[in-house]
Structure 1
Amino acid sequence: MNKTFEFKGSGKSIITIDGNFIRIKRKGFVNFMNHGLDGEKTIDINNLTGIQVKKAGFTSGYIQFIFMGSQESKKGVFAATQDENTVMFVKKEQKMADEIKEYIEGFLANKGKSQVAATISGADEILKYKELLDQGIITEEEFQEKKKQLLGI
C-alpha cells in the first residue's frame, strides 16, 4: 500500500504508508506544543507488535503504534497526546484510522504466516537431507553442516 492519510482535526498530522514503512509528519501549533520540532518519524512495520485505536467521540480518538517494550497508553487521550507514536484524530476522521489499523493488522498477520511457512520448509529440508544421509548419499558431517545452516545455528 502506498497511501497518505491527512488528519486535520486535532492538530495536523500526516501518516504515509509506503510499503513496509509508516511515516508520521506533524504540523501546526498543537503538535508543536505537544511534540516540539520532531520532524518526520519513520516506523518499520516489521518492528510493530500491535496497533491501538481509540474511537473518537466526545473527545478526540487516537491511533497508537506499539513496539516491543513500549507502553500502551492506558491513561487516556491526554496522555496519548504526548506520545510520539500516537496520532490524534476527530470523529469524522475515524474511517482513515480504521483503514490504517486494518492494513497493519493484515500485514502483521501475513508476516506471521510467512515465518511459519519458512520454518516448515526448513524442517522439510532437514528431513530431505536426513533421507540422503540414510541412503549414504551424504556423510554425517555434511548432514550436520546443512542442518546447522538451515537452523541458523
Structure 2
Amino acid sequence: MAIAELGHTGLWVYDLPKMRHFYERVLGLTVTDEDAELGIVFFSARPEEEHHEFVLQTGRTAAIGDKQQHQISWRVETLDDIRAFHDTFVAEGVQVQQEVTHGNAFGIYFFDPEGNRNEVYLRIERDVRQPFRKTIDFGMRSEKIWAEAERLLDDDGDAYQPVQ
C-alpha cells in the first residue's frame, strides 16, 4: 500500500467571493463545480484530468493571520510561468513573502487575501540538499536568473551534498 499523489486540499474561508476571485483570476484555476447554498467552490488546474485539486468553503473560525497550514504549493512548467506570476503579483498587489531558488526548484511564496501562504514553483532536475533557500529576483531576464541561481549554489559548498 502506498500513496500515489495528493488528490486535493481545501481551505475554510470568511469571504468566499473574494477568495474565489483570487484563485480563479489571479492564479488562473478553473472552477469545476460550486454550490452557493453550501458556500463551496471546487477548482482545478487540470480540469480535463482532475475534477478538483483545491476547494474553498465558508466556515472559517480561525482569525486571519492564525496559521492553518504551512503552505499550498502550485507547480508550474516553465521559468516563463514563474516570471509571469511575478509580474501578475506585482500588478495585483499580492503580498509576496520571498522569491527564491531552492537549488532544485524556483519558487515565489505569497499570501492570498486571507493570509494563507502559497507557493508557485518550478521543479529543477537537480539534487540539492534541503533546506536550501536563497533570495532571487524573478523580475530579471531568464538568462540572469539561471546565472544567479548557479552563483548562489556555488557560494554554498554544502548545497551539492547528496540528499540522505
> TM-score with structure 1 length normalisation?
0.25
* TM-score normalised by the chain length of structure 2: 0.23
Larger radius of gyration: 1
The structure carrying a bigger helix percent of its residues is 1
